[in-house]
Structures are given as C-alpha cells and as structure tokens.
A and B are shown apart, each in its own frame.
Chain A
C-alpha cells in the first residue's frame, strides 16, 4: 500500500503503483485539499474565463458543462498507452492534486485512487499532446473515463467534477512525467546489467587493470568514473585475467569509466528532475490565499530536456557496448578467441549476426537521439506559443531503453560464450561474482558448440535483464541528496 500525500512520491513507488500496488490518500493531504477548495473565489466561472482567453473576447458565449469541456479535449490519436503507463499517469496526477493548491475537493483524488485500486483504466491514445499546457488530450481521455463519459457502464458512481476540477484533472504534464518515471526505472535496471557486461567483457578480452586503478580515477576530476571503477574492481577482485601487466586496451575498454561515469551522472540528473516534477505543482490556475494565480507550471520543459539528455547518454552506452561486442566477435581483436566465438568457424557463423543486431540497434538509438525538446509549434491562436514536446521526448527515450536492453543482452550472451572459450584455453577460474552471472545465463542459454538460433537466446537474456537478474546496488541519488 502506497500513501500519496503530494510531497515525496518516488519513481520506485510510482512503478509499484503502475504494476498494481494499492494506493491511499493521506489524511493530511485530504484535509489540505478540502481546505483549499473551501477558499476558492466563488465569483469566477473558471472554465468560461479560460475559454474566453483561448478563443478571444469576440467568441460567442456558450452554455457548456464541465463534461463538455473534458470531451472537447479528447483529441488523442495513435497507438494506445499501456495500462502500466495509464496507471502511472493517474497516480502522478493524484500526487499533484494532493498538494492542495488546485482548488479541488479531496473526492477528486479519492476518485482517481478508487479507479486505480479497482483497475478501472481508460484507453488513452499516446499521441496528440505537445507538453504545454500539460498533457491535455491524454489526461482528458483519463478524465473521460473517471467521470463516466465513455459510455461504459461500471459498478461505481463516476465523479461529477466541478468546473475547476475538470480543468485540474488535465492541466499538467502528468502523462509525460509518468512515462519519464517508468523510463528512468527501466534505464537504471539496464544500467546495472551494463556494468556486469562491462566487467565481463574486460575479463574475456584480458583487459589491463590500470584504467580502473583507484589512484588514476581519483584524479579524473569527476567522481563518477571513480565510482564505476570501484564497482568493476569489486566484481573483478579475484580475477586471474584482468591484470596490470598487459598492454593498454582499445578505448572501448580503457575509457569505460569515463563514458559510463558520464552516463551515471546523467541518469542521476534525470532521476532528480523527474522526482521534482512528480512532487511539484504542474497545474494552473493555482488557488493561493483565496486567489487564483495564473502561471505556466503546466510547461514540460524540465521533463522534455531531461528525457532528451538521458536519451543521448543511453545512445552513448549503446555505442560503447556495441563496440565491445564487435571486438569480442573479431578474431584479430579478441586476444586469440575464435572468430565469432565459435569453433568450426566457416561452417558455423556463430555470433556474427548478434553483432549486426547490436549495430542496427545502436544506429537506431543515434537516430532517436534527436532532441524533441528543441522544437515548438504555436497553437491556440498563438496563446500557447511555446511548448515543450515532453511526451514525444519521453516516448522516444522509452523506446531507446528497449534498444539498449537488447544491445546489453547481446553483449552478455557473448560474454558468457567468451568466458567458456577462455576457460577452455587457459583453464583459469572465473571471478566468483562473474561465474554466478554466467551460471544465471546458462540456465536458459547453452554454450554454442555449433550454430543455434540467435533470436531466443537474445530474448531470454533480455527477460533476465527486465527481471533484474543482473543487478548491482548503484546509488541512484547524488551523494548529497
């Protein structure tokens, strides 16, 4: 059970709610919401006012209901969001309302929570929002179901929203933030597996250990490379193969701490931004001291930029892993392992195509890295003339994590094969930590003594990554947070 109170909802908790855990509203937040609601100015017709600002003073006045207002925003198109994302978006919105500045009754938050706990979820098209003012269309599709406007009979009384409540349900970047939160959680899981792949490739390729020497990393200037080096040293502490007295490695090995450390900082920065957005007040107008104040808090610039930055870092990790995979499959670069990590090379092609797949995915990640947040198109008679494109940034980053998971799965597959081949050659024991990972992989994927079908091997290891078989307790916050 997770308690929402508007102040410290973490991405990990949001993921748990997205995966089905039950939710409740804190009593303090409930009181805060009702007190705030009791203070809203009673002489202002919020929706008509907003409509006048959007359409201009010359627009004919029109009688319309709050329900009509919600339906007028249901212009989402394209593939549907997953149930997991819809749940996360509902919880994220609830957390904003629970902060008690939106002029809503606590029953609005309770309605979202009821539907979460009963798994009553809207079908929400994924496209149509520009991330300012908020994620209007997708959140309106959620509000449509919440308020019983989708024509489906259900065994509960739907919410009848007051005017401001209809607006408050939709006027923030909760969908983009939800996708961002689920994506950063995925990214961390894959990052941890990446660390294992890094250590494993170093072991297989007989890397030189100087690049992870603590005295060297201490003077790099950034703390993160030293952190990464420390983790790799722990995994390789009893390695008989990674030694100081080897010749220096190619950059894909030797610059590992620098590249991976940079990505680590980027993940933490992104994570922090998402946490702040989750617990910030992405709504408008806000009721403060009995007055409506108009601001631009629905603008998703923070999420948009953070997601774009993360996507660049993920592309760098993909590129690094793919180059290590290239070396592992290359007979002249792998320190005397057979080409494509298979005996009987020629009749067998071994893992040749595994590297192609990694290359194709790495290329996809590059293409996807184009920043969505730098674009803006004016809408609503030029009133909404600068927008964030946060949902596009978030969705592209989510897709990018899937590519990276496959790239890392491929490297882990090659690492396991490489460890077996190396052991056949040198009869040395693997480091204990790596041998456990190797054993986990071997429960599902056999050693290839001749050609097998690659596809199921990749997807099995991809599943292991998702199930956090390859985890390492890397702190996700900056040291002083």
Chain B
C-alpha cells in the first residue's frame, strides 16, 4: 500500500501521522537521524567528566534543579522521574491517540538533540509496528513542562514496571507481563533518559493533530450537508457567486463558496423561487461562517505542523554550537502554541455545527422551508418527521458552548512556583475533540434531514435535476443508512452517518472539493 515511513525528526506531516495512528503504516528510524542521536548521546556520556550542572543529568527536576546529584546516580534519577511522575488519572487514551503520541515522541527524539540512545526511538517504533498499546491516562497533565504524567505512564511501560499497563493481542496486562507476551525487552534507563521520555507536549499534540485532521474532513462534510440543505430550501445562488466572494477574499470563504458551487452545479431547484431575493443567513452566510472556521483550522494546522517536527526536550544538546557545554536549557516543552491552537480550532468547529443546526431548524419549520411539509413528515417518517433530531442537534450545539471555555487561558502555579505559568494544552485538546465529536453528529443529522427533504422535493417535482454533487451525496447517504439493522433507532442512524463521515463513505464519487489547507 504505502511505503514505510522513514522518521527523521524533520519531515513528518499530518497525513503520515494519521496513517501511522489509524492505519498501521510501518515506521523506521532514518540512518541520518540515528547518527545525530548517537552524536548527542555520546556527549551526554562524556559530560560525566565535566564538572558542571546539566539539568536532569546531575541535578534534580523542576525547582529541585538546585540540588546536585552524583553522576553515578543518574540512571536512578531517570527511573525515579518516570515512577514519581506517573500521576495521571481518568480515562485511558484511545489506541490512535496513544500511537500518535508515541510517534511524536519518537520524532522529537529523532532530531538528535535529546542526548539519548537511538534504542529509545527504535523501541517506540517497535511498539507501533507490532501494535503494542501502552495505557496512558489522559487527565492530570498541565501541558508544561510538556505532558509529564502521561508520558511518564508511557515510560513505566518502556521500563517494564509492573505498575504500568499495556495491551497486546486483546489482553490488558501489567507492563512487564505485556512486554513478555509481545516478545519485547524493557529498557534500562541511563542518564537523561527520564527527561527524554517525558519532556514535551506530545499527548496534547497527538490529540490536537488527530482533531485537526478530523476537523478538515468535517468541513467538507458540512459543505456537502449545506449544499443539500441549500438545494432543498431552494436557495438563491447569487450568494455563492465567485465575483461576490472575490470582494471579501478570505481564503476560507472563497473555498467554501467554490465547493458549494461545484456540488450544486446544474441543479434545477436552485433559484427556482423568483420572488425570493435572498435567503436567511444560515444559508446565505454559509461561506462566511464556514470560511472563518476553515481559516482558523488552517492556522491550527500550521501550528500543529511545526510542533510535529519540533524539539521539545529540556535541556537540548546542541552539538553544532561552539562551546564546551552543549546543554541548552529553554522552554521548548511549553504547550502554549498547541493549546491555543486547539482552543481556536474548538471555536471554529463549534461554529460549523451551530450554523448547521440553524439550517436544520429551517428545514423542519413549515413556516420557513419553502413549502416543505412541517417537520419534514412524509411517507418515510410519518409521525414527527425529522423534528426530534433537530432537538438532538440543538442539545449538541449547546453542549459545545458549555465546553467553550478556552482552557489555555488558565494557569495555576506548580512546583514551588518554578513552573509558574502553564499551558493546560491537554485539556484544550481534549475539549476540542469532545466538541468535534458533537459537531460530527450535528452534521450527520443535517445530512440525514436535508437528504430526506430533497427526497420529498423529488417526490413532488420528479422532473427537476439535482446538483452534480448533491445527487451523488443523496445516494451516499442512502447507501450509508442501509447498514442499519431493522431495529435501528433514529439515534442509531445518526451514528451510522457519523461513521460515514469518519470513514469517508459519504464523500464517494463527488466532484473534487477544495480541502482545508495549512497556511504557508
């Protein structure tokens, strides 16, 4: 299928991360990266002869950097870090989030500035390639210095500590037993290994990266749903005319309008109400609203892309600098860029759903739907039509608002006031994902309702042509719902369409759509 990924610390892109996390793309460490890892590792070993403090090698951690540690105790220092820092609580990261986290930590180490052995990266890649799944609790991290606790839980597994947990071949076991089952060896830690494993916001980035990928897909699904609604509600096409959008040239709104035009091309239903000069905002302003969301998701994608290939460790071992002390202490682990991007992305995703729900309201409101039956009642759904799913969508949109507090805005001092500004990037990323999942369901409901509405239109006006894309989208929705069993509830059908968004089956056979780009 795809050729294996060569991990070099510099060129990982979002699509590759998704392929590794969700589609088992094999990964190996690039030989050049291995060399630079060896180089900085050798310096850390040799630094035993230098009489100077190197953070986390011969000093304590956090505010305890004031305490000098004998070099002979460096390995124990690393082990103590992993064990005492495994302070996570709450639900376990899903398999794809765990895999993305491991890949990202490996990629950061592959940059060769962490002063650790290639063995650490090779072990993480082995876990990925044999589908070995460490259990990482997702709550408890402040996102600075990085995702210490979650990565420490990964560390427990790496060292085969029985307090760690991992899953292999369907069995969930203490880490030592799980490693044995998988035929893997535990790692014996050396100087600086503890920091190398834990020091970076990789869990926050993994969650945000997967959410970003899914958000880009959601935008396209939302545009398909919007096109179906536009057609069902006999929309006025001047609102998506290219000459109009060139005059307020947000990249996102240009792209959205372009996609709507492509999907609706050739439709007889559009512009079929001559006395209607303009639609309500939830139709007419779709390019502006989804466009703003597109641009915000693009910004987030840009930030996340940088983080994918970033050095997040502390200290960093910069062998190219002309100095005896190659250890540079900085704040590369601070998750603020990721957290802020996740919070912004969350708003963008919530707005997509909010707009969609308003179109649903119009579809089901007999006073607003251009003479569709109230509630979209018809032979398919004779009792209440699509009335109740609109309430479902309203509940989801409201919940998104309640989750809207931007987590990255909060900070609580930690570590005897040494770590006195923190990112809360993990919380930001998790909330973004929650909002995304709610939004996927809202779009699924709009797909279902708008398809239903178009079918009612077709019944009463069978000779009219549908749009080039919407006709296919209708078929895709129908095909997707065929998988529902005879006792499926409306809720089950909504979930089935959500699955169709996630596995892309609702995109099948559509005209080419402009995706959400990463801003250059």
Contact = CB atoms under 8 A, between A and B. Distances in A.
B415 interface: yes
Given A347-B80, A359-B422, A396 B364 contact: no
B417 to A, nearest CB: 7
A349 B486 contact: no
Interface string A267-307: 00000000000000000000000000000000000000000
A402 B138 CA distance: 14
Contacts of B63: 339
B412 interface: yes
A425 interface: no
Looking at chain A, what size class is its interface with the partner chain?
35 or more
Interface string B148-169: 1100110010000101000000
B26 interface: no
A465 interface: no
Contacts of B330: none
A440 interface: no
A95 B157 CA distance: 50
B395 to A, nearest CB: 5
Contacts of A68: 382-383
Contacts of B112: none
A56 B381 contact: no
Contacts of B391: 75, 128-130, 136-137, 379-380, 384
Nearest to A406: B89
Nearest to A124: B491
B491 A77 contact: yes
Contacts, number: 292
Nearest to B485: A151
A352 B62 contact: yes
A149 B394 CA distance: 26
Interface in A301-322: 322
B389 A349 contact: no
Interface string A375-393: 1111111101001010111
Interface in B357-389: 357, 361, 364-367, 373-375, 377, 381-385, 387-389
A454 B485 CA distance: 46
Contacts of A330: 416-417
A458 B438 contact: no
A377 B395 CA distance: 8
Interface string B388-415: 1111101111110111110100111111
B402 A396 contact: yes
Contacts of A372: 398-399, 402
Contact of A353 (B87, B384, B402): B87
Contact of A379 (B76, B84, B89, B390): B390
A56 B384 CA distance: 11
Interface stretch (B120-128, B221-229, B423-431): B423-431
B424 A360 contact: yes
A223 interface: no
A62 interface: yes
Nearest to B149: A353
A456 B164 CA distance: 10
A380 B366 CA distance: 10
**By CB atoms of chain A within 10 A, which of B141, B142, B412, B422 has the most?**
B412
A349 B60 contact: yes
Contacts of A136: 388, 391
B83 A453 contact: yes
A346 B69 contact: yes
B392 A77 contact: yes
B299 interface: no
Contacts of A345: 60, 64, 67
Nearest to B83: A453
A366 B408 CA distance: 12
A54 B398 contact: no
Interface residues of B, number: 93
Nearest to A348: B80
Contacts of B252: none
A92 B431 CA distance: 31
B148 A75 contact: no
B357 A346 contact: no
Nearest to A455: B86
Contacts of B62: 349, 352
Interface string A325-362: 01001111000000110000111111111111101111
A293 to B, nearest CB: 23
Contacts of A1: none
A455 B416 contact: no
Contacts of A351: 84
B34 interface: no
**By CB atoms of chain A within 10 A, which of B361, B377, B388 has the most?**
B388
Interface string A127-147: 111100000110001001000
Nearest to B141: A360
B87 A357 contact: yes
B9 interface: no
A364 B141 CA distance: 10
A175 B485 CA distance: 27
Interface of B: 59-64, 67-69, 73, 76-77, 80-81, 83-90, 137, 139-142, 148-149, 152-153, 156, 161, 163, 357, 361, 364-367, 373-375, 377, 381-385, 387-392, 394-399, 401-405, 407, 410-417, 419, 422, 424, 426-427, 431, 437-438, 441, 485-487, 489-491, 494-495, 498
Closest 5 CB pairs of A and B: A346-B67, A151-B487, A346-B60, A357-B140, A74-B489
